[in-house]
Structure formats: structure tokens, C-alpha cells
Chain A
Amino acid sequence: MEILNALALFTNFVVVPATAYGAQLALGALGVTLIFGILRFANFAHGELMSFGTMITILVTWFLQNMGVSIAPFPTALLALPIGVLAAVSMALLMDRSVFRFYRKQRSNPIVFAIVSVGVMFLLAGIIRIVIGPADQSFADGERFIIGAFDSRRALGLDEGIAIKQSQVITVVVTAIVVAWLFWFLQKTRSGKAMRAYSDDEDLALLSGINPERVVMICWIIAAALATIAGTLYGLDKTYKPFIFLQILLPIFAATILGGIGQPIGAILGAFIVAFSEVVVTYAFKKFLAYLGPTDWAPDGLVQLLSTDYKFAVSFIILVAVLLIRPTGIIRGKVI
């Protein structure tokens, strides 16, 4: 019984939130890894692209809410999401046409691309803060919990309940669908195979008659779409704050490098490892251990490895460990 309580507690505070968070990171990391693989640079504007798509989604959500449109019990944001995706894709393509393409033609050094992406980051950050402002925005509506803590406690007959938020379920379901579609696309379709071929060897792809501009375009479309979905899900699950999207770059990059640069499966794996490490390391195990230990006993401290304030330190430590031990990542990615 006590063990079951401990497990329920652990599931409620670690497994469920980490799964949702991992799914959000995975969508972001997939975009970053695709851009790494196809365009061969670290896109520092990716966080702001997420933010931009999410912002449009929020604006449309507000509009729909005002119009009285609702798909209750689901959040209205899901209805607005396609428009956010469309906006982010257009923005990404616009930035590619007006900024990145020039350097591609010049065959510039990846670092030049990265610096240019900083310029794009500034632009997007400015637009976002002018349009929606720097403050927190809430846009979640619909049912909050699928399973409430109270109900699950009664159903399981335990002291500890497992609460599952609707946003968490939506996150996992949407991510599963998107990822399944992405892998189908990459493995089975002509365009997807062309993308993988291009990522493998640009020159040979050119010799095979693969149009690089088309591959790059598809890459941006997918990356921007994934970014918007990730940002919106993150916003529904937590909250939307423009400044968070610069910080979230770190776990996303850590996941990308951990998984192996340019490796979609690696990105997903990396994202879940980062998410679970972050949540486990910052979780206070006091109550959990109290259940497992003898009756009427509880550890003195919180038994928390790291305060939640340092959660990005986890990504960083993972990053450093990867760089030291296996710079190619779990699935051998592009090192040079």
C-alpha cells in the first residue's frame, strides 16, 4: 500500500509532468535538429519563432473566444492553432527568403548563419513584444482536468491521487500524432527521403537532381509548424511569457546535441531524457521516501537534489557531459 502510494505520488509529480514537458521539448528539438541537418546551423531564432507562432495562436484564440466560438471541453487554442502555424511558416519562409538564402548562395560558414539568426531573433523578439507585450498571457480554456486528484484517489483507494491535466493529455496526443506523421513523411515520401538525402550529402543530392531550395523550404515549413505546436502546447500546459523562449533554447539545444545533431529520433530521445532529468533532479523526494521508509518516519530535508531555480543547470550539465563523453550524441550525428 505504502509502495503504491509512493508510486502514485511519483507518477503525479514526476512522470506525468515530465512526459508532457518532454513532448513539448521534443517538438522544439525536432525543428532545431532538422535545421541543423538541412541548413547546417544552430538556429538561435528558434525560440522566438516558437513564441511568434504561439502569439498568433493566442491572438486568434482571444478573437474566437470573443466571438463565442468554442469547442468545449477542448481548449479554443486548438482551433486557432492552424492559423498560428500558418503565420509562423510564413514568417520562417519570409526570413529564409530575405535573410538566410543570401548566405546559402554564398556558402557561408555555419557561424555566420548563427550570427544572422541572432539578428532574426532580435527582430522577432521586437515584433512579439510590441504586438502582445512582455507580460504573461493566459489563453487556456476548456476542461482543466481529465482526472482530478480527488477522483483518482477514490478510484484507486490510495492516499495519493494522480491528477492529469487536459493540457497534458492533449500535449502527448498531439505530439504522438505529429511525430508519427513526421516519421512517415521522412521515411516514406519522396520529399522526405530527399530531405534525408540532402542532409546526408548536399552535393550528391544536387547530382541526383534534388532541388535544394525545395528541401530547404520544406524544412522551414516543418520546423516552424512544430515550433508553433510546441509553443502553444507549452503555453496551454504552463503559461505564455515572451522571455521564456530564450531560456527554453537551452534544453532544446541540449536535447538536440544529446540525441545527435540532425537525427530526428535522437532529438525525441534527447528531449525526454532532458525533461525527465530536469523534473527528477528538482523534485523533492521527502514525501516519496516517507512512504517507503518505516511508519512515522520522514527525512529531515526536502531530499531535493537541486532547487527548481536551477532547472536549466540540468540541461547544461547534460550538455557538458555529452560534449565531454560523446560529442556525436546518442545516435551518431554530424560532428564537424
Chain B
Amino acid sequence: MSFLSATGMTGGYGGTDIIHDCTITVEKGEIAVVVGPNGAGKSTAMKAVFGMLNLRKGSVTLDGKDITNLAPQDRVPQGMGFVPQNRNVFVSLTVEENLEMGAFIRTDDKIEDTKEQIFSLFPILAEKRNQPAGELSGGQRQQVAVGRALMTQPKLLMLDEPTAGVSPIVMDELFDKIVEVAKTGVAILMVEQNARQALEIADHGFVLVQGRNRFTDTGEALLANEEVRRSFLGG
């Protein structure tokens, strides 16, 4: 069984289901990317993995443990870190305080070390550590958001469209950082609008259409797949 395995997820917000029998898996140290057209249920699938959606069917296991019925906040101590798409930093808190809040549930004394690791991963944050996060640029905010999530030392990091609204240069930079994070052994699950670039760094890709798995393969294979390219990557 995979490190994260969300299998057969079916559910939605109101009466109607948005995702149907959807399966997403990630291995340790790997990057998995969920792509698909608008309204395909990408973000919904991600939220379902994190427990922000009531599932009618299906199960979610992390490291072999069934977490299907845990509330989102209870999944954090289990080793899940989540970076929402919007409102993902505490705007009036400083960068450093944002990171400290990320480590709120930790009781060990290694918090400072993790913070230094994050500062070395995102040097710009070290520079702006005493500035309120609300004053940073979009790309820097995303770094704060990722940093905040990493402070819990998650075994699985989930990112909901981390590159939404940032420039292509910043996007490349962010993707580089994400690859670096993955190299430390963290499993990464990411929903992306910029499908091509995301699949380039992905070990596994999941193409969702109308809430169902359409293609599942390695990132490389998906990029090479003629149909995927034509339908979802713009040729």
C-alpha cells in the first residue's frame, strides 16, 4: 500500500457528488500532481484527502493508518500539512510568527532547528522574518505558507495551486523549492493549474475529468501521452 492512499473517494458539499470513485496515491519522497480542466474536482479531491469534505464512499489511509473519519485539524498531528490556495498566511503576524504558529502543535525542543532549515530553504524569509506576512509579495507569501506547513514536519505536504497568481519566474523558483522539499523524504501532493510545468517535476500525475480519474501515470509518461497533451496541455 502507498504511503498516502485515498481510494474510491465519492462525495461533495451538498446533495450532489463532485468526485466519483476517485483514487489518489503518493509515495514518500515523491511528488504527485493532480491536474485537469477547470471544474474537474481537483481541489475538491484534495480537500477530500484532507477531510474537509464528507465522503460517502471510499477511504483515506496515511502510512497504513485509516484516517477517513478524522477532522482536518486532527490530521495535522498525524503528519499531514496543508497549504490552502487563498488566505494561507496570517497577514498581521510576522514571517517568523507565522512559522511559529505552524509549529503550534509541536512540543519538542527542535522547533528552532526546523525554523532554521526553512530559513535556509527560503532565504528571503530569513531576511524578512520580522515583517508582517501581509506586506510580502505573492510569491513570498506562498513561501511563508509552505514554510508554515513544513513547520509541523509533515510526512505529507499538500499544496492547493501554490503557483496561482505568481509570475512564471517565481513559479519555477517555487517548483524548485518543492522538489528540494521532496528530496528530504516528504511526500508531496499538489493540485496545479499549470499542468505542463507541474508534470515536469512530478513523479506521478493524476488527470481528473468531471470528478473521475481519467489518466494515471508517471509525470513523464503523461507528458508523452498524445491524448493528454492534446486535451489538457494545449498540444
Contacts and interface: CB of A to CB of B under 8 A. Distances in A.
Interface in B77-110: 77, 82, 84, 87-93, 97, 100-102, 104-105
A209 B105 contact: yes
A325 interface: no
A207 B73 contact: yes
Nearest to A262: B92
A94 to B, nearest CB: 26
A208 interface: yes
A143 interface: no
Nearest to B71: A206
A200 B91 contact: yes
B93 A203 contact: no
B71 to A, nearest CB: 9
B73 A201 contact: no
A208 B92 contact: no
Contacts of A210: 101, 104
A196 B82 contact: no
Given A193-B97, A207-B82, A208-B105, A201 B76 contact: no
Interface in B12-61: none
A190 interface: yes
A265 to B, nearest CB: 11
A209 B93 contact: no
Interface residues of A, number: 16
A302 B189 CA distance: 74
Contact of B72 (A199, A200, A206): A206
Where chain A touches its partner, the secondary structure class is: helix
A190 B91 CA distance: 17
A200 B105 contact: no
Contact of A208 (B76, B87, B91): B76
Nearest to B81: A207
B213 interface: no
Given A200-B93, A204-B88, A209 B73 contact: yes
B148 interface: yes
B152 interface: yes
A131 B158 CA distance: 57
A210 B93 CA distance: 15
Contact of B73 (A199, A200, A206): A206
A193 B93 contact: yes
A208 B91 CA distance: 15
Contact of B104 (A190, A199, A200, A203): A190
Contacts of A193: 93, 97, 100-101
A40 to B, nearest CB: 15
B77 A209 contact: yes
A205 interface: yes
Contacts of A200: 90-93
Contacts of B148: 208
Contacts of A201: 87, 90-91
Interface in A182-239: 190, 193-194, 196-197, 199-201, 203-210
